[in-house]
Amino acid sequence: MIDLGPHATYIIAAYSFVFIVTVGLIAVTVSNVTRQARRLERLEAERKSGA
Amino acid sequence: MTDQGETISTNWFSQLAHPGFFMRWSAYLIWPLALISAVLFAVGLWFALFHSPADYQMGETVRIMYVHVPNAWLSQFCYGIMAVSAVGTLVWRHPMADVSMKAAAPLGAAFTAMALVSGALWGRPTWGTFWEWDGRMTSTLILFLIYLGLIALWRTFEDQLRAAKVVAVLTLVGAVNIPIIKFSVDWWNTLHQPSTFFRADGPKAPASIITPLLTMTLAFTVLFLLLHVLRMRTEVTKRKADRLEHLKIARQQKAS
Amino acid sequence: MVPQLPFPKIDISVKGLRCKRGERTVLDGVDLQAPSGTFVAVRGPNGAGKSTFLMCVAGLLPFSGTVSIGSQGWDEDEHPINEQMIFITHLNAIKPELTVYENLSFWADLGGGARDRIRPALEAAGVSRLRDVPAGAMSKGQQRRCSLARLLLADKPIWLLDEPTSALDKSGDIWIAGLISAQVRRGGVVIAATHRPIEPEADIAMVTLDLEAR
Amino acid sequence: MQALWALLIRDLKSASRAGGSLTTLIAFYLSLGVILPIAIGPDKPLLASLGPALIWTGVLLSSLLGLDRIFVADHDDGSLTAFRHTRLGLSAISFVKLIVHWLTTALPLIVLTPVMGVLFSIDLDTLFAVMLTLLLGTPAITALSLVAAALSVSLKRGAVIAPILVMPLAIPAVIFGVGAAKPVLGAGQAETALLFLSAMSLVFVAFAPFAAALALRVSQE
């Protein structure tokens, strides 16, 4: 790891915050994709079996 | 009963004709975008953290800029996308425009929040304070409030298509206002303190700063596009599923 | 009473009307032929789209299909407001803090200044004694009568009525039936959405439009 | 024209008889005039220097109070639908609503401002300056309120959401309004601020009725 100088805390804090939010965004987005896709699949299957 | 089924299916085909097309072509975008974004992030972070010198003025804190500036740019880029989508909703009545607008708003708020927090963390070592009422940070904060307002307005509506049109009107009103806000805040800023701050994207920035900055900006932008497409696809899927659920409830009511 | 001259011929025809309200398709392929001098009773259970149908004909909602009024026809998104009609919704559009007279003279002014019709209209509605009473102090039925009195101010050939008889008593029903009959006899077109059947006079041409719940 | 006049008179009559709203407005504004000095402390020079800013904030917050009333009554009693078959377009109606809202909300606040001036112990010149900037700047705030009210007209929680929409957009009005009234400024800057303030009010008042009409139309669909 390189030496980040006297303000290392701020640099690390900034990168961590951006990292957490970005990863969080990706995680939420991907989980929504799969959740809605599953929901649609389930409903479509129900519709087919019902009809 | 079969008759009923027929009318229902024709309905939804005509309704989803456009979204169906979108779902087909956008499927080819996801992995390339993800790959490009990942590579850009890898290269950008390597430059930003290891392969760029400390600035002679700001020292190591210049590295915060590499995450701050891309987010600040995206906070505005996202509003641009929303404004175009708003015109699409109201004028061209394109069926994907409101999906795009709905998908963009929370992303815009998130990127604006990242710009604000990284800006504050950059400001503390550079200016000696977390929050400086300088023109740019103030405008960004106001933009954040506007994003919150848009999201709040959207969430109070139950009917998504009606919400889209109303939110589109507000988005455009905001788009007209943002330059006025920017201008007024800059004027207010010069009034209260002479502007002597370091300008991050000034023309004198050396190449050692430009390379990581550009790479990171591209990386974040591609990531934004990827997330936007994914969220749009989710919304289309969700609406299809909602519709099936309504039909199911209607069937059950009929049966009982 | 105001002289009752016949209206110029004005026919309404609706073909394949489809209307979505937000995400919900409310009407899907509704047809109607209502030539001059017809009373149309729109019937159907709650949620069948009676009000939506009226709003489409009134030009307040985007629709697909065709709606033509007189010589003009529209389809798809075009929905101009037609000055030849008056639309009384299920709401009264009466301000409780203003008097009956003030309310009606306001609507008369908006319709283009026919204040001399207010008195006969109030008399016909049976609320002339309440002229200077704040509208909020009246009963629901009286407020409805007051709102329907707007029909007599405007003198338009086309009437769109959404539940005109709601809150009205037996004598109110008879009054409305009489109004509609007179309007139809003059060559006007009345389209009314109702739960309770309205019984116009025997010689009136009447069309029934039944909407199904979706 | 006659129809516009009729609408203006009817709304003013209605507002004057409905009662309560004006009292609420006055009480809210004056309460701010008491709470702010109590929170800041009875330091007269400090209060006087903060005066214009506090008064502008007070006016902005108070004017948001009755914001949802602009269209809600006409929406709920069906008048808004009935308007559609008259000769008035929705934009003309919105313009009248703008005038009515300004007359019933902004104007009483401006008239009450001398009382606030006394509470904040600001001098006469500053008071006049503040009242002038309020006179020139409140139309912009009213215009924004009009659009926000139209956007939220069909919502049950419209009264909560509409102020949130107005506040960020009203910031330029506050900046130029307070900027023009601040006694520390050079004459040139105050004039610039006044100019921008008036320009903003004019532009907003010109465009708001159309935006509001659009919002009303789509929220009826």
Task: For residues B231-239, give the mean pLDDT.
Answer: 91
Give CA–CA dist C4/C36, Å, rounded. 16
Q: What residues pair up with C206 in beta bridges, in sequence order?
A: C39
What confidence tens digit (pLDDT) does each residue in C41-75 have?
A: 888 888 788 888 888 888 888 888 888 887 666 65
Sign of CA dihedral C14, C16, C19, C25: positive
The yes-or-no reply on D/A contact (3 CB pairs or more, < 8 Å) is: no
With bands split at pLDDT 50, 70 and 90, how would you rate the model's confidence at B56? low
SS3 call for B154? helix
Q: What is the pLDDT of residues C77-122, one digit of tens each?
A: 445 566 788 888 888 888 888 888 888 888 888 875 577 888 888 8
pLDDT exceeds cutoff 90 at D111: yes
Percent of chain D scored above 70 by pLDDT?
Answer: 98
More confident residue, B247 or B77: B77
Handedness of CA A28, A29, A34, A35 (dihedral sign): positive
B7 with C28: Cβ contact below 8 A: yes
Residue B10 binned pLDDT confidence (cut-offs 50, 70, 90): very low
What is the least distance, in Å, from the CA of C148 to any CA of chain D?
A: 12
Q: Under an 8 A CB cutoff, do B142 and D207 touch? A: no
Higher pLDDT, D191 or B109: B109
Q: Please tell me which of the candidates D168, D185, D189 has its beta carbon nearest to residue B149.
A: D168
Round to whole Å and give the CA distance between C65 and B129. 63
Coil, strand or helix at B59: strand
Average pLDDT of D194-213? 93
From chain C, the residues in CB contact with D76 under 8 A are: 91
| pLDDT surpassing 50 at residue A30 | yes
Torsion region of B45: left, alpha or beta (phi above 0 gives left; psi -120 to 50 gives alpha): alpha
Q: Mean per-residue pLDDT for A5-33?
A: 89
How far is Cα C96 from Cα C140, in angstroms, rounded to an integer? 11
Query: Could you tell me which chains touch chain D, where touching means 3 or more CB pairs under 8 A?
Result: B, C
pLDDT of residue A3: 64
Residue numbers of the domain that contains B144 = 29-249
- Are residues B244 and A47, on separate chains, in Cβ contact within 8 Å? yes
Mean pLDDT calculated for residue range D112-141: 92
| Residue B103: predicted pLDDT | 92
Q: At what angle do helices B160-192 and D187-220 cross, to 10 degrees?
A: 180
Residue D88 sits at the chain C interface (C-beta within 8 Å): yes
Q: Which residues of chain D make contact with C80, given a CB cutoff of 8 A? A: none
Mean pLDDT of the B3-10 span: 39
Q: How far is B70 from chain D (nearest CA, A)?
A: 24
User: Whose CA is closest to D196, among D172, D168, D170?
Assistant: D172
pLDDT tens-digit series, residues D20-45? 788 889 999 999 999 999 999 888 88
Q: Would you say D197 and D177 are in contact if contact means Cβ atoms under 8 Å apart?
A: yes
B60 with A4: Cβ contact below 8 A? yes
Residue D64 domain boundaries: 2-220
Contact C81, C52 (CB under 8 A): no
B90 CB within 8 Å of a chain D CB: yes
Residues of C with Cβ-Cβ distance to D2 under 8 angstroms: 109, 113
What is the pLDDT confidence band of residue A4, given thresholds at 50, 70 and 90?
A: low
Please report the pLDDT score of residue C81 as a whole number. 60
Nearest CA in chain D to C77: D221
Read off the pLDDT of each residue in A23-32 and give the average, rounded to a whole number.
93
Average pLDDT over residues C4-17: 82
Q: pLDDT band at residue B101, thresholds of 50, 70 and 90?
A: very high
The pLDDT of residue B199 is 47
Q: Read off the DSSP letter of residue B128.
A: S
Strands laid side by side in the C72-75 sheet: C24-34, C12-21, C64-69, C72-75
In the stretch 58-87 of chain B, residues with CB closer than 8 A to chain A read 59-61, 63-64, 67-68, 71
Cβ within 8 Å of B, C 15-34: 20-25, 28
Candidates B195, B205, B92, B95; CA nearest to B138 is: B195
Quick check: A36 and B241 CB within 8 A? yes
Domain boundaries, chain C: 11-84+157-214, 91-155
Range C139-166 average pLDDT: 86
pLDDT at B3: 37
Is B141 within 8 Å of chain D by CB? no
**Pairwise CA distance, residues D179 & B187, whole Å:** 10
The tokens for B133 are 């009422």
pLDDT surpassing 90 at residue A23:
yes
Q: What is the sign of the dihedral through the CA atoms of B153, B155, B156 and B157?
A: positive
Stretch 56-75 of chain D: residues touching chain C, C-beta under 8 Å: 73
Radius of gyration of chain A (CA): 21
| B232: pLDDT strictly greater than 90 | yes
Q: How far apart are the first and last CA of chain C?
A: 44
Report pLDDT digits (tens) over D41-74.
888 889 888 889 999 999 999 999 888 888 988 8
Q: Cβ D211–B173 below 8 Å, yes or no? A: yes
- Checking if the pLDDT of B229 tops 60, the result is yes
Percentage of chain B exceeding pLDDT 70: 85
pLDDT of residue D55: 93
CB atoms inside a 10 Å sphere around CB B91:
11
Average pLDDT in the D86-108 region?
A: 91
**With contacts defined as CB-CB under 8 Å, which chain D residues touch C60?**
81, 84, 220
pLDDT band at C125 (very low <50, low <70, confident <90, very high): confident
Contact D71, C85 (CB under 8 A): no
**Cβ–Cβ below 8 Å for C23 and B160:** yes
Q: What SS3 class is residue B55?
A: strand
Q: Yes or no: say if B75 and B69 are a contact pair by the CB < 8 Å rule.
A: no
Local confidence band at B15 (pLDDT 50, 70, 90 cut-offs): very low
Using an 8 Å CB-CB cutoff, list residues of chain B that contact chain C. 7, 11, 93, 159-162, 239, 242-243, 246, 250
CA distance C49 to C63: 13
| SS3 state at D38 | helix
For residue D163, which of D210, D114, D105 has the smallest C-alpha distance?
D105
Average pLDDT over residues D114-126: 90
Domain assignment present for residue B186? The answer is yes
3-state DSSP of chain C: CCCCCCCCCCCEEEEEEEEEECCEEEEEEEEEEECCCEEEEEECCCCCCHHHHHHHHHCCCCCEEEEEECCEEEECCCCCCCCCEEEECCCCCCCCCCEHHHHHHHHHHHCCCCHHHHHHHHHHHCCHHHCCCEHHHCCHHHHHHHHHCHHHHHCCCEEEEECCCCCCCHHHHHHHHHHHHHHHHCCCEEEEECCCCCCCCCCCCEEEEECCCC
The answer, yes or no, to whether residue B170 has pLDDT greater than 80, is yes
- pLDDT, residue D60, reads 94
What is the Cα Rg of chain C in Å?
Answer: 17
B111 found inside a domain: yes
What does D83-99 look like in DSSP terms, one character per residue?
HTTSS--HHHHHHHHHH
pLDDT (0 to 100) of residue B17:
46
Tell me how close the Cα of B191 comes to any Cα of chain D, in angstroms: 8
Residue B177 has pLDDT above 50, yes or no: yes
CA distance C12 to C66: 11
Q: What's the pLDDT at B11?
A: 44
The per-residue pLDDT for D206 is 94
Distance from CA of C17 to the nearest CA of B (A): 14
Mutating which of D81, D85, D88, D96 best tests the C interface, going by the most C Cβ atoms within 10 A? D85
Q: Does C212 touch chain B (CB under 8 A)?
A: no
Banded model confidence at residue B98, pLDDT cuts 50, 70, 90: confident
CB spacing of A33 vs B230 below 8 angstroms? yes
Q: How confident is the model at residue B2 (pLDDT cuts 50, 70, 90)?
A: very low
In this complex, do C22 and B161 lie within 8 Å of one another by their Cβ atoms? yes
On whether any CB of chain D is under 8 Å from the CB of B43, the answer is: no
Structure-token match 């948001």, residue found = D64
Question: If you count residue pairs, one on C and one on D, with CB atoms under 8 Å apart, how many are there?
Answer: 77
Q: Is residue B14 a part of any domain in this protein?
A: no
Q: CA B251 to CA B246: how far, in whole Å?
A: 9
Q: Compute the nearest-CA separation of C103 from chain D (Å).
A: 8
Instruction: State the virtual CA torsion across A47, A48, A51, B4 in degrees, nearest 10.
Output: 60
- At how many degrees (to 10) do helices B97-127 and B62-87 cross? 160
Give me the helices (H) in chain D, please. Answer: 2-18, 21-40, 44-65, 69-76, 79-83, 90-101, 107-119, 124-151, 158-181, 187-220
Number of domains in chain D: 1
Q: C21-34, pLDDT tens digit by residue?
A: 766 788 888 888 88
The pLDDT mean for chain C works out to: 82
What is the residue type of C77? D
Q: Which letter does DSSP use for residue D19 in this model?
A: -
For the stretch B128-166, pLDDT in tens is: 788 878 778 888 999 999 999 999 998 888 877 788 889
Contact B251 A50 (CB under 8 A): yes
Q: Check residue B12 and give its pLDDT.
A: 44
* Contact B149/D at CB under 8 A: yes
Backbone phi, psi, residue B162, to 5°: -65, -45
Residues from C in contact with D at Cβ < 8 Å: 21-22, 58-62, 81-83, 85-95, 97-98, 102, 105-107, 109-113, 134, 150
Chain B neighbors (3+ CB pairs < 8 Å): A, C, D
Q: Quick one: pLDDT at residue B198?
A: 45
The whole-number pLDDT of residue A9 equals 84
List of chain A residues whose C-beta atoms are within 8 Å of the C-beta of residue B60: 3-5, 7-8, 11
Mean local confidence (pLDDT), B197-216: 67
Determine the average pLDDT of the residues in B70-90.
92
Of A4, A14, A21, the CB nearest to B121: A14
pLDDT above 90 (res D142): yes
Chain center to CA of B215: 19
Residue range D174-195: average pLDDT?
78
* CB of B216 closer than 8 Å to CB of B65: no
pLDDT: is D189 or B16 the higher one?
D189
* Other C-beta atoms lying within 10 Å of the C-beta of residue B75: 24
CATH fold for domain C11-84+157-214:
Rossmann fold (3.40.50)
Asked if C76 and C64 touch (Cβ cutoff 8 Å), the reply is yes
The answer to whether residue C132 neighbours chain B at the CB level (below 8 Å) is no
